[in-house]
Amino acid sequence: MGCGASKEAPKAAAPAATPAKPTAEPAKPVVTPADPPKASAAPAPAPAPAKAPSAPKDPEPVKSAPSATGGTYELPKIGDEKFDAWLSAQLAASGPDVKDTTDFRYLTFSEIPPFIDLHKSLMRKNLTPELFAQLKDIKSSKGYTLSNSIQAGVLRPHLGVGITCGDEECFELFKDILYPVVKGWHGFDPATQTHKSDLDPTKLTFPEDIASKFGTYVKSTRIRAARNIAGFSLPAGASVEDRLAVEGVLKEAFASLPEPLQGKYYPLGGLTSAQEDELQAGGFLFQKPGPMQLLGAAGAGRGWPDGRGIFHNDAKTVLCWCNEEDQCRIIAMEDGGDIKGVFGRFCALSDSIKTASEANGKSLMYDPKLGFLGTCPSNLGTGLRASVMIVLPELNKDVHKLEEICAGFDLQPRGSSGEHSAAVGGKWDISNKQRIGFSEVELVQKMIDGVGKLIALEEELAAAAAGGAAPAKTPSAPAAGSSSYELPKIGDEAFDGWLTSQLAASPADVKDTDDFRYLTFSEIPPFIDLHKSLMRKNLTPELFAQLKDIKSSKGYTLSNSIQAGVLRPHLGVGITCGDEECFELFKDILYPVVKGWHGFDPATQTHKSDLDPTKLTFPEDIASKFGTYVKSTRIRAARNIAGFSLPAGASVEDRLAVEGVLKEAFASLPEPLQGKYYPLGGLTSAQEDELQAGGFLFQKPGPMQLLGAAGAGRGWPDGRGIFHNDAKTVLCW
């Protein structure tokens, strides 16, 4: 996983999901995934109709001064005139760096960057002027500086981590900035905690009955991590000599693997066309990162493709990448659910690289506090991601229950459209959330135990659906009235106690339902470090006091508006609107949030709309190219009807009235768009299967998910539905 690239602030417990590693524009019209797919994994499903907000596109590069080595290096255009001018001045003033190449320049920042609202990283959050002054002139023996380290985070504003390491010394030299970043990303404090490693697969508990269940339900298994060799630079700071030396050590390691793991090493610069096609077809090929992509902006793409390569065994159940993000990424994988066997191969790979390193008088990069070291702080500790692809058709009908079980084992479930979405065909990707503070054996064991629990519940639900006994429900504490509402456990004793007292003191809200309560906060929440949202950043005690008693004519309050951001600490926005009036009543908190998220200031700027497709310029020659290269296209947006509440604050009456208006709209569509409306509460089993197979079905949000925590799941499924035309080229939720 690369340094997190997310518009939402990073979760403190661990990165919620492995951010996709960027790839350069490939020579062939085939997209190469950053993490290779599981062995014989099914092709990725077509995109679902809705997606979470994505990171902004790469900024447009602008031509800049020739590099010291005679090439031309392009700075990104961030989009803020003053910041772009500052960057250009810093580049012009930067002296040559011995690591510069014809197509890459390392900048030397003479002062702390004048970060703008677009910069979201933990590096930006923790780098003070005093700390910059303290560290700016420090250089490792390999020549890596603070400026080198923060360059990617300065040039790529949306990154969640924003700092890279160029060699092993960086972790000590720059620990005053790295340790807070590690703590913010992982919830692990290297200043007070110690990491542990355990690569003994015999310690896993995986009894035959559980292994048999895994064999039935799990379609593929994969475990990956990075290994780096002490004494050589990491890719973001590597010299040509170090890069080639690393490749040499790794080739020795591959040559000494035991028979089941033996295979072939493919130098990236020496691939034949047939080899390239074969590696690309298997998802094994990685591309040069573009200069404005994460690894490219950090300098890891210099001297491409020399010293890079790919190894896999004959059975294609182990795979290694040489000198990509780290010196060596090791992956073990296979079809089926033999997680103990996969972990055994993973450990054998790690041991072989360690043995080859020691034979060359080297060792693996490892620190007692930080564990295995690597380029990005998001991958410290074990750096391990263990995942299974598993089919759970019954649990797929209750995403919240599945997520609830996974949370108990610190696992991350991902559906077809990412977090909090159902999975087409009931096929889920389940992986460990944590990286550091737990050993490899502990993390894989959590995976076994958690997935085993999911399988057991899946079988109970299947038996109940077939007429057997239904699984027992977990009781929860009764709330006001006759409802039973569960508060999340944030994990901070004082804050959890405060939440409980606020719930107990909250009066009844006319919008409450049997399974949901709106809280009324009597004071500004005592936010903790886990709270990352722009709402938390901008909500001062004075502003809370100013807005707390204001209520829209539909009954939506400030407390209603911030509830999701209080209960879901990792959210990046942290505030919702319940009706149209909110945008005026609460603009003193909403406008700063909008500015922080979009870089657009509603107080001084005006938006414009233009829905005339005839104004697009799309000549035939370009259209022809799109027809050749583009596999699918989607455009989506939201529309809401004035006079009715938004879902987070809607009454039953408003929800049904909105449905009525929309059904009239669907009935009056012109012929190519005509189709059928499916009320969510009236679906037959066949209709549900068909909609799910097409990625058209949406699920009730659990109470601790974003929409659920905001109240948008009340009264489910009444008033909800799905429309699509006969050709399935338009879709409405």
Q: Residues at the annotated binding site?
A: 220-224, 329, 385-389, 414-419, 632-636
349, 350, 332: which is closest to 341 by C-alpha? 332
Contact 76, 58 (CB under 8 A): yes
Which residue blocks in 466-555 are alpha helix, DSSP H?
A: 493-505, 534-538, 541-547
> Residue 383: left (phi > 0), alpha (psi -120 to 50), or beta?
left
Those residues with Cβ within 8 angstroms of residue 183's Cβ, 6 or more apart along the chain or in another chain: 189, 190, 191
Question: What is the residue whose two structure tokens read 């200069």?
Answer: 291
SS3 string, 616-678, reads CCCCHHHHHHHHHHCCCCCCCCCCCCCCCCCHHHCCHHHHHHHHHHHHHHHHCCCHHHCEEEE
Question: What is the residue whose two structure tokens read 């405060």?
Answer: 498
DSSP secondary structure, 18-31, as one string:
-PPPP----SSS-P
Token pair of 547 as six digits: 């807005």
Contact 426, 391 (CB under 8 A): yes
Sheet strands side by side (includes 731-732): 675-679, 721-725, 731-732
Give φ, ψ of 175 to 5 degrees: -65, -25
Beta carbons within 10 angstroms of residue 200's beta carbon: 12
Residues tagged in the binding site annotation for ATP:
220-224, 329, 385-389, 414-419, 632-636
Rg of the chain on CA atoms, in Å? 27
693, 697, 695: which is closest to 634 by C-alpha? 695
Query: Strand 371-372 and strand 366-367: pairing?
Result: antiparallel
CA dist 663 and 338 (Å) reads: 49
285, 331, 168, 178: which is closest to 236 by C-alpha? 168
457, 496, 454, 504: which is closest to 477 by C-alpha? 504
CA dist 635 and 109 (Å) reads: 40
CA dist 502 and 464 (Å) reads: 38
Beta carbons within 10 angstroms of residue 673's beta carbon: 15
CA dist 719 and 517 (Å) reads: 20
By the 10 Å C-beta count (0-12 exposed, 13-18 middle, 19+ buried), 215 is classed as: exposed
CA dist 463 and 465 (Å) reads: 5
CA dist 523 and 533 (Å) reads: 18
Reduce the DSSP state of residue 432 to 3 states and report it. Answer: strand
Question: What is the residue whose two structure tokens read 């879709």?
Answer: 731
CA dist 509 and 559 (Å) reads: 11
Token pair of 656 as six digits: 């049904």
CA dist 42 and 606 (Å) reads: 46
CA dist 109 and 299 (Å) reads: 16
CA dist 683 and 705 (Å) reads: 24
CA dist 332 and 343 (Å) reads: 7
